[in-house]
Amino acid sequence: MVLAASGAMNAMYGVKPGAAWAIICRLPMIFWIGRPALPVTQLLLAVYLLVSRRVPLWTGVLLAAGAVLFPIARIGRIELVSIAVDLLTPVPSVYCLFRHSVEW
């Protein structure tokens, strides 16, 4: 989250980009672990759901595709891939929510 909004925060508070990176690079390594954890855990979840056959094939494939494309879209800053990931990733999650939810 720190890096996601850094450009807007730098402009808003008048911080030069070089100074912001100097501060961010001094953070402990624990703050950098969360960034790759999201796609890795999403990919592991997709593999588990596919192998255990708890969800249909298309659901697991969409989850896995979102996990693989997420770093490509964010690191490469490819807008079309980013939009595709943002639109396709919630679809299997919402499907699982309504398919396996308890009756209200």
Per-residue pLDDT tens digits for 6-19: 666 677 777 776 77
Domain count for the chain, please give it.
Answer: 1
Tokens for 64, please give them: 């896995």
Where do the DSSP E strands lie in the chain? Answer: none
In a 13 Å sphere around the CA of 66, the CA atoms on its Cβ side amount to 24
Task: With a cut of 70, say whether residue 81 has pLDDT above it.
Answer: yes
Please indicate, yes or no, if residue 54 is contained in any of the structural domains. Answer: yes
Please indicate, yes or no, if residue 104 is contained in any of the structural domains. Answer: no
Please indicate, yes or no, if residue 29 is contained in any of the structural domains. Answer: yes
pLDDT at res. 9:
66
- The residue among 104 and 6 whose pLDDT is bigger is 6
The pTM of the full predicted model, rounded to 2 decimals, is 0.64
CB atoms within 10 A of CB 51: 9
Please indicate, yes or no, if residue 1 is contained in any of the structural domains. Answer: no
pLDDT at res. 1:
43
Task: Answer for the pair 62, 92: CB distance below 8 angstroms, yes or no.
Answer: yes
Q: How far apart are CA 26 and CA 74, in angstroms?
A: 22
